[in-house]
Amino acid sequence: PATLGVLGGGQLGRMFVHAAQRLGYFTAVLEPDAQSPAGLVSHHHIQTTYDDPAGLAELAQLCQSITTEFENVPAQALQTLAQTRPVAPSAAVVGIAQNRIEEKAHFTACADVSGVTCAPYAVIETLAQLQAVQNERADLLPGILKTARMGYDGKGQVRVKTAKELAAAWAELGSVACVLEKMLPLTAECSVLVARGWDGQIVSFAPQRNVHVNGILAVTAAYEGNMPSVLADRARDAAVAIAQHLGYVGVLCVEFFVVDDGTEHGGLVVNEMAPRPHNSGHYTIDACDASQFDLQVHALAGLPLPQSRQHSPAIMLNLLGDVWLDANGQLQEPDWQAVLRLPGTHLHLYGKLDARAGRKMGHLTITGPDVDGVKAVARRAAALLSLPGLDAI
């Protein structure tokens, strides 16, 4: 059988492997960690660093085509692989998504076709730029200073209220390239999954509504009525336009803010994009007839992209390591018996061996015949596991 390759061994890679195996593909995962979620379930595990030329050559030699599950993989590794094999998404678009400065420039460049802009921002790469922002961009405060590269789950971000706090925050972040974004009055957040093939065929999912707690995704609500339909349509169209403008191949997730701008439904602002399947799309495994991982496999293998149909309303609850820690910080297995007695619960655990606070260990998706029932079960599950965020939906 043909083999599909993945750079990175995390849970996204693991769920990709599961989807690939269902279609009869073999998989190869390149990942330095011996006990990674994806490496443990893949046919081949090339255990080396992402920039090791010998490892990359072995991956290319084994695989028909290759993707990444880890957005901070060195873009150069994708470039190297692309010399001999189809790679999706490309090094060029992953490079854009890895750098908030380039990402925002891209969003701005395609604002005419996407119909959305990003939050007002300024680039801070030098002391002179910092001082110029301090003197001339009072409109950006209060704001959030974000490192241009390597941030995720709210890491690499500092909230600042004054020009003085801004200077301190930039120093605290190591004076690296950053963007200062204006703090917006969010009324909601959502994200859209798009899949695009080598031939330009494009399909999308309806927007899912997301709740973040401490900068980390806590809850995703995916059902009709999770947000006003005018906004949902605009978000979906915008994500499709952004993917097309990039010439993207594979699954792309675009995150949006809904802001209070005085209009009836609020305004839509594009936040950032992930060049891969996304945590907010995990509900598609249990609630849709083709999951985001199925679509990633189809895109990579050059198969037709089905327009996925959601057959059940769903709520996804993220399971961070905190769920395993008792009041004294001791590890304790949660009461899965009680959770799984609730109707429509689908437990996904990623096979990670050590639970740590804030670490993504798994997720729980609740599906059912109607939205009210799904919400009720989600609340009971959240109470059993002390999970936050549900009161926001």
Cα–Cα nearest to 27, from 35, 17, 19: 17
Stretch that binds Mg ion, among 97-105, 247-255, 279-287, 290-298 (CB under 5 A): 247-255
Nearer to ligand ATP, 25 or 205 (CB): 205
User: Would you say 98 is a known binding-site residue?
Assistant: no
Shortest reach from residue 210's CB to Mg ion, in Å: 9
Segment interacting with ligand ATP (CB under 6 A) among 106-114, 172-180, 181-189, 326-334: 181-189
Residues between 50 and 109 with contacts to Mg ion, criterion CB under 5 A: none
The smaller minimum CB distance to ligand ATP, of residues 31 and 189, is found at 189
* Among the residue ranges 73-81, 176-184, 224-232, 325-333, the one whose residues contact ligand ATP (CB under 6 A): 176-184
Residue type (1 letter), 309: R
What one-letter code names the amino acid at 337?
Q
Under the binding rule (CB under 6 A), the answer on residue 271 touching ligand ATP is yes
DSSP-derived letter for residue 21 is H
Q: How far is the CB of 316 from ligand ATP (least distance, A)?
A: 14
Q: Rg of the Cα trace of the chain? A: 21
Residue 13 CB, shortest distance to ligand ATP, in Å, is 17
Task: Say which residues have a Cβ less than 8 Å from residue 277's Cβ, sequence separation at least 6.
Answer: 12, 15, 16, 69, 193, 251, 253, 292, 293, 296
Number of residues that bind Mg ion (CB under 5 A): 2
Sign of the dihedral through C-alpha 198, 201, 206, 207 = positive
Residues in the chain, overall count: 393
Could you say which of Mg ion, ligand ATP, none residue 198 binds, taking C-beta under 5 to 8 angstroms by partner kind? Answer: none
- Provide the minimum distance between the beta carbon of 86 and Mg ion in the complex, in angstroms, as a whole number: 26
Q: Which is nearer to Mg ion, 272 or 286 (CB)?
A: 272
Site track 243-262 with ligand ATP (rule: CB under 6 A), x = hit: ------------x-------
DSSP H or E run through 60: helix 53-62
């709520």: which residue's tokens? 315
272 binds ligand ATP (CB under 6 A): yes
* Alpha carbon 266 to its chain's center: 24
Q: Is 183 annotated as a binding residue?
A: yes
Least Å from the CB of residue 143 to ligand ATP: 7
In DSSP notation, 265-302 reads S-EEEEEEEESS--GGGTTHHHHBSS-HHHHHHHHHHT
CA dist., res. 189 & res. 175, Å (int): 29
Query: Helix crossing, 75-82 with 53-62: angle to 10°?
Result: 50
In 3D space, the residue among 256, 193, 197, 200 whose CA is nearest the CA of residue 228 turns out to be 256
Q: Which stretch, 34-42, 54-62, 178-186, 344-352, contacts ligand ATP (CB under 6 A)?
A: 178-186
Beta carbons within 8 Å of 88's beta carbon, 6+ residues apart: 65, 66, 67, 198, 249, 250, 299, 300
DSSP line for 141-202: -SEEEEESBS--TTTTEEEE-SHHHHHHHHHHTTS-SEEEEEPP-EEEEEEEEEEE-TT--E
Which residue lies nearer to ligand ATP by CB, 46 or 145? 145
- End-to-end distance of the chain based on CA atoms, in angstroms? 45
The answer to whether the annotation marks 157 as part of a ligand binding site is: yes
According to CB under 5 A, which residues from 269 to 308 bind Mg ion? 272
Of residues 99 and 310, the one with the C-beta less far from ligand ATP = 99
Q: Which positions from 128 to 167 touch ligand ATP by CB under 6 A, shown as an x/- string?
A: ----------------x-x----xxxxx------------
CB of 189 to Mg ion, least distance (A): 8
Interface pick for ligand ATP out of 18, 196, 212, 363 (rule CB under 6 A): 212
Residues 107-126 that bind ligand ATP (CB under 6 A): 119
Residue 306 partner contact from ligand ATP, Mg ion, none using kind-dependent CB cut-offs of 5 to 8 Å: none
Pull the structure tokens for residue 181. Answer: 């974004």
Which residues are near ligand ATP by CB under 6 A? Answer: 119, 144, 146, 151-155, 181-184, 186, 189, 212, 215, 255, 271-272
What are the binding residues for ATP?
100, 146, 151-157, 181-184, 189, 212, 271-272
Which residues are near Mg ion by CB under 5 A? Answer: 255, 272
